[in-house]
Structure 1
Amino acid sequence: VKTGKTKRDLAEALRQDIRDFKAKHGVARCVMVWCASTEIFIVPGPAHQTLASFEAAMDANDPSIAPSMLYAYASIMEGVPFANGAPNLCCDTPALQQLAIDKGVAIGGKDFKTGQTMLKTVLAPMFKARMLGVAGWYSTNILGNRDGEVLDDPESFKTKEESKLGVLEYILQPKLYPELYGEMYHKVRINYYPPRGDNKEGWDNIDIFGWCGYPMQIKVDFLCRDSILAAPLVLDLALFFDLAARAGMSGVQ
């Protein structure tokens, strides 16, 4: 656990950790992948607009500077590519994105999307390709690991909810296809259930309609293992971001 008077102090401690890790293991290159829990929902504000405002906010212990932002800042400052595996605001800010470009560091990521959201990104394009309307989409999850415990907190859940809700709007484009998706009702719930452990269950009820508005339903019960779905993505991200570094790529990938 890091200690310091300011968030800038904590970021500097993280930078030292990176340097110590490289020296201890004798490596020239590293990649940082954020695999920690979802943070509370943060709306982008003045502190996230420029590097100067971001660093001033760290010095002032501004609550809008989240832990994942400190890790991203430390990583970029040390020339280490950074991938975000949670739906946090994190490096999705002008300040850190410009810093990454200035430092020549590759960054990216906005949630691993390994379970229910992954299914949505597969099913929604199919509906759109066949011009099938969606009247409603109800999603619920039960999960018993640390991720589920954190998401039991309303503020942390809101961050995840925004990610899950936004993916359908992005894919289906209700403003472009109002007759098919303009009145879609989308509900998301996540429930902490300790006996389930790392075994996650995602249940979806999808009300669709086709020719002449005739209603139909799709129901999906996805019983999966959270970490088993995420682990290969972490390995791929490490490899791809290291490749990006060796290729001289920078900024959002």
Structure 2
Amino acid sequence: MADGKTGVWLIGARGGVATTVAVGLAALRRGDAPAYGLVTETAALAGVDLPAWDQIVLGGHEVRGGTLVESARELEKGRVIPVGAAERYADELAAVDASIRPGVLVRSGRAIETFADAEHVAACATPREAVQKVATDLRAFRAAHDLKRVVMVLVASTEPPVDEASLPTEIEALDALLDDPLSDSPLGDDAARCPLRASSLYALGAVEAGAALVNFTPSRGANCQAIEKIFFRAGLPHCGADGKTGETLLKSTLAPMFAARHLHVDSWVGHNLLGNRDGAVLADLDHKKAKVQSKEQLLASLLGEAPQSHVSIESIDSLGDWKTAWDHVHFRGFLGVPMTLQFTWQGCDSALAAPLVIDLVRLMDLALRRQEKGAIGALAAFFKSPLGAAPRGFVEETQTLIEWATR
């Protein structure tokens, strides 16, 4: 068993995924639920030294008001967690709430700002102040709970993409940008020259406080050459990006089948329907771009050539946390005979994501104890856009994960 306690700092700490993580850990501690969906509980990883459920302590940043119990009640209504869970685990949720602090909101995008409550947003005059605020909160969390290690997890809504050319490649260039004044907006939605959004400032705050980072979102986070160098210099691990929970999981499983059988894929079209706050955020075209980019890039690498492809994401309020993906694959076999594969994936977004977040926390705790640094490409099986590794088929990625964890 891992020594001491591990802190988990959730960015978006009262969102659907974070709330499901909090309820799920409480249920696992009491033995109320099976460990379905947890890769770290499979036989292949049974011998790996990982934190136990009662060694994991939760806290985080949030830009919305309310409480975790209220968020849990909302999830109950949407059939995401069992009815009665909010009351059954009210004490555990209140303990997590006590460790949630106002978040930073720097160039996070219009849709995210719409959900934010100004009194729950930390006032920051510069990006550097935002980084220092994050680091200060993380250090206080570590001290308050006597934590051995801390892992930050980005599970907030998707930010708009950042132009790659605008990102600094060297640490010195990045440092020079951090003192640029933010706008007069109480939400800090603009910056004079610094291109970094909140997710990247959170990543820098994690480094400053000696924490590992998991980016479960399509947002930029540590995916910047200068920030990657900072993680490496600090001797800290990070991983991401964009958790692979549904349609892309199926793509990464099915596409290698077509390649292995030498079946030519002419086109692969996917339509995605999603409610909840993520759906509302992704209804904004600026925010949607980052998610679509993450979902689209996989096929060419797995098939050996890029088929005609289209990915759509639509917000449907009535679906709540239940997402539906419908895919149409047009392919040709022997003698050029055209054929089709169609599939429908319907799943609960937070219930699919939460166990993977817990898995990644346990595995990044392992990486911290091994003193690994930089992007951990061996965790690619969890992500649509893996850092530190090229996307591969799901089976191959899973084997790499097992080999890394059990070595």
Q: Could you report, residue by residue, the CA deviation over 1:75-105 in whole angstroms, capped at 9, with x for unpaired residues?
A: 0121111011112222111111111111000
8 Å contact from structure 1 (residues 144, 196) kept in 2: yes
Gaps spanning 5+ residues in structure 2: where? 1-120, 181-190, 377-407
Aligned pairs for 1:19-34 within 5 A: 19-34=139-154
Mapped partners of 1:36, 1:126: distance in 2: 34
Larger relative contact order, structure 1 or 2 (CA cutoff 8 Å, min sep 6): 1
Aligned with residue 191 of structure 1, among 314, 324, 330: 314
Cα RMSD (Å) of the superposition? 1.2
Which residue number in structure 2 is paired with residue 39 of structure 1? 159
Matched letter for residue 12 of structure 1: Q
Alignment pair present for 1:98 and 2:233: no
Give the corresponding residue for 2:218.
Answer: 87
Query: How many Å separate the matches in 2 of 1:202 and 1:85?
Result: 19
Query: Out of 321, 337, 344, which is 1:221 matched to?
Result: 344
Which stretch shows the higher mean deviation, 63-72 or 194-203?
63-72
Matched, 1:72 2:203: yes
Partner residue of 1:149 out of 257, 280, 298: 280
Name 1:243's counterpart in structure 2: 366
Residue of structure 1 equivalent to 2:188: none
Which shifted more, 54-63 or 37-46? 54-63
Alignment of structure 1 residues 47-62 onto 2, 5 Å: 47-60=167-180, 61=191, 62=193
Q: What does the per-residue CA deviation read over 1:174-233, in whole Å, with 9 as the maximum and x for residues that have no partner?
A: 1xxxxxx5xx21000000011100000011011111111111111111110001110111
| Runs of 5+ unmatched residues, structure 1 | 175-180
1:137 CA displacement? 1.0
TM-fit CA distance, 1:48: 2.4
8 A Cα contact 1:47 1:57, kept in partner: no
Q: Does the 8 Å CA contact 2:167/2:224 hold for their aligned counterparts?
A: no
Equivalent pair of 1:47/1:53 in contact (CA under 8 Å):
no
> Which SS does the other structure have where 2:371 is aligned?
coil
Cα deviation, residue 173, structure 1: 2.2
Between the two proteins, the alignment pairs up a number of residues equal to 245
Q: Once the 2 structures are TM-superposed, how far is the Cα of residue 63 of structure 1 from its aligned partner?
A: 5.2
Q: Look up the SS of the partner of 1:48 in the other structure.
A: coil
Q: Which residue of 138, 151, 161 maps to 2:292? A: 161
Identify if the C-alpha distance between structure 1 residues 63 and 140 changes in structure 2 by more than 3 Å, giving closer, same or farther: farther
Per the alignment, in what secondary structure is the counterpart of residue 164 of structure 1?
Answer: helix
Q: Distance in 2 between matches of 1:39 and 1:226?
A: 18
Task: Quote the Cα distance in structure 2 between the aligned partners of 1:153 and 1:206.
Answer: 27
TM-score, length-normalised on structure 2?
Answer: 0.59
Preserved CA contact (<8 Å) 1:46 1:53: no
Q: Secondary structure at the match of 1:239?
A: helix
Give the Å deviation of 1:46.
4.7
Q: CA deviation at 1:59?
A: 1.6
CA distance in 1 between counterparts of 2:156 and 2:260 reads 35
Tell me the distance in 2 between the aligned counterparts of 1:212 and 1:105.
53
